[in-house]
């Protein structure tokens, strides 16, 4: 706290630089659903997945189904075979099964619909069908499919996708879409609570910004740790969203505790002195609370399932960043840097003589 009060510009620049650097890990974040890979190696399902991956390819676990629809398309056997060959040449595709693998001319319902208006192909990716790599392969395939259909002579046909990979891709996309709608609302609610509690507009803005930056930094560190250091191809799709909600809520508690104490001390002394007094009295409780909460969430890592360990790491890192970097250094430095304007339009941070002036004139 004393360091932040004496050198607010340097401390602010250093803290923001560290947090932004950590947050860059999000640029490489891949989301997936390691439903089987996330199980303990001794789990029967995990052992079966490993055996199937070695004997065939990881994608054999859940092939992606492509349904091509169009009037009389079952009679377009040559065009369907051309489409199948084009799909096989796509990066990340291990094998494609379709109508050309059915030697009989009569539709049997496996690859060609009995009414002749639909054909089915099964695409086996060379990666875990529930992982982020396969999800990205599917998205590229969806984007390229209209061109592939035209090149194969099926310009009037349309394609739809099904299977576990499509389900994971849709779930992750819907979750992200919901976050873009719910996230701003949650931030607005937190901002309004801070405004009501502090009776100010300026301080809540940079307090919320610092909390958000801390969350982004913790998620970036999580991405670096699990994908770059441990070599995972993705992070469980719901872990970043669950951790972000929890960290924002806990960060708001820290804001109320620390800044509320500064506001209280500022009633009787100058802001710089109030900041040092409040910091000295609240630093230890904030540090202890941060460590206790971090250790509590870290205990989730004892569960031998990957999503639990990812959540444990994210929460522990986020809480420690919040307690020892954001609340101990960044927030005090910002308060010192912005000064009494932090309390605008209220007068909570105005010198005592200014607050007493109206009463004296009366």
159 and 197 within one domain: no
Question: HEC string of 28-49?
Answer: HCCEECCCCCCCCCCCHHHHHH
In the prediction, which pLDDT does 350 show?
65
Q: What share of the chain is helix, strand, coil (3-state, %, to 5)?
A: 70, 10, 25
Dihedral angle, C-alpha 123, 128, 129, 132, nearest 10 °: -120
Question: Are 253 and 348 in a shared domain?
Answer: yes
Do residues 194 and 136 share a domain?
no
In this predicted structure, what is the pLDDT of residue 286?
A: 87
Question: Residue 307 belongs to a domain with what CATH number?
Answer: 1.20.1640.10
Give, for 150, the enclosing helix (H) or strand (E).
helix 132-151
**Do both 92 and 28 map to the same domain?**
no
Cα angle at 32 between 322 and 147, to 5 degrees?
130
Helix (H) or strand (E) holding 67: strand 64-69
Say if 339 falls within a structural domain. yes
Q: Report d(CA 135, CA 62) in Å as an integer.
A: 12
Q: Is residue 151 part of a domain?
A: yes
Same domain, yes or no: 262 and 123: no
| Counted domains in the chain | 2
CATH number for the domain spanning 138: value is: 3.30.70.1320
Predicted local confidence at residue 281, as pLDDT: 83
Which of residues 122, 139, 166 is at a domain's end? 166
Q: Does residue 311 lie in a domain region?
A: yes
Q: Average pLDDT per run of 10 along the chain, which is 362 residues long?
A: 81 96 95 87 87 89 94 91 94 90 62 89 93 93 95 94 94 87 89 90 93 96 96 92 92 84 83 82 87 95 94 97 92 90 77 50 47
Alpha-carbon distance 297 to 340, whole Å?
A: 37
Question: Are residues 230 and 357 both part of a single domain?
Answer: yes
For residues 95 and 157, membership in a common domain is answered with: yes
259 touches 335 (CB < 8 A): yes
The parent domain of residue 75 ranges over 57-166
**Coil, strand or helix: which one is 266?**
coil
In a domain, 177, yes or no: no
Question: 194 and 228 in one domain?
Answer: yes
Residue 50 included in any domain: no
Q: Quick one: pLDDT at residue 168?
A: 92
Q: Same domain, yes or no, for 192 and 153?
A: no
Q: Are residues 354 and 234 in the same domain?
A: yes
Q: Verify that 77 and 125 share a domain, yes or no.
A: yes
Residue 318: name the closest of 228, 223, 222, 235 by CA. Answer: 222
**Taking the complete model, does pTM exceed 0.75, yes or no?**
yes
CA 226 to chain centre: 13
Q: Does 247 reside within a domain? A: yes
45 belongs to a structural domain: no
Task: Kindly state the tokens that stand for 74.
Answer: 């079952």
**Is residue 251 assigned to a domain?**
yes
Could you tell me the CA-to-CA distances from 20 to 222, 250, 258, 346 in Å, in that order? 14, 20, 23, 31
* Residue 317 to residue 126: CA distance in whole angstroms: 34
Please indicate, yes or no, whether residues 196 and 253 belong to a single structural domain of this protein.
yes
């Amino acid at each position: 706290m004393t360091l932040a009060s004496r050198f607010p510009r340097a401390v602010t620049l250093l803290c923001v630089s560290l947090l932004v650097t950590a947050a860059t890990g999000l640029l490489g974040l891949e989301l997936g659903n390691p439903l089987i890979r996330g199980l303990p190696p001794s789990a029967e399902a995990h052992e079966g997945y490993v055996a199937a991956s070695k004997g065939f390819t990881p994608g054999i676990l859940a092939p992606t189904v492509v349904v091509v629809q169009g009037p009389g398309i079952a009679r377009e056997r040559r065009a369907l075979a051309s489409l199948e060959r084009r799909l096989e040449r796509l990066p990340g595709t291990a094998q494609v099964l379709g109508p050309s693998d059915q030697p009989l001319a009569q539709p049997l319902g496996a690859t060609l619909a009995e009414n002749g208006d639909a054909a089915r192909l099964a695409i086996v990716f060379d990666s875990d069908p529930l992982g982020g790599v396969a999800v990205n392969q599917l998205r590229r395939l969806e984007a390229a499919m209209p061109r592939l259909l035209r090149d194969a002579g099926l310009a009037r046909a349309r394609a739809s996708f099904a299977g576990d990979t499509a389900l994971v891709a849709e779930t992750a996309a819907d979750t992200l879409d919901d976050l873009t709608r719910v996230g701003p609302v949650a931030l607005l609610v937190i901002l309004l609570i801070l405004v009501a509690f502090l009776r100010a507009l300026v301080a809540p803005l940079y307090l919320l910004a610092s909390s958000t930056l801390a969350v982004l930094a913790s998620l970036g560190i999580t991405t670096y740790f699990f994908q770059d250091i441990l070599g995972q191809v993705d992070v469980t799709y719901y872990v970043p969203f669950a951790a972000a909600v929890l960290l924002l809520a806990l960060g708001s508690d820290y804001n109320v505790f620390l800044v509320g104490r500064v506001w209280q001390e500022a009633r009787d002394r100058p802001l710089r002195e109030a900041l040092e007094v409040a910091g000295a009295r609240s630093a230890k409780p904030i540090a202890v609370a941060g460590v206790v909460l971090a250790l509590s969430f870290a205990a989730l890592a004892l569960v031998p399932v990957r999503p639990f360990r990812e959540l444990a790491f994210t929460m522990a890192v986020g809480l420690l960043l919040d307690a020892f970097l954001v609340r101990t250094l960044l927030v005090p430095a910002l308060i010192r840097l912005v000064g009494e304007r932090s309390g605008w339009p209220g007068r909570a941070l105005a010198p005592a003589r200014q607050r007493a002036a109206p009463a004296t004139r009366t």
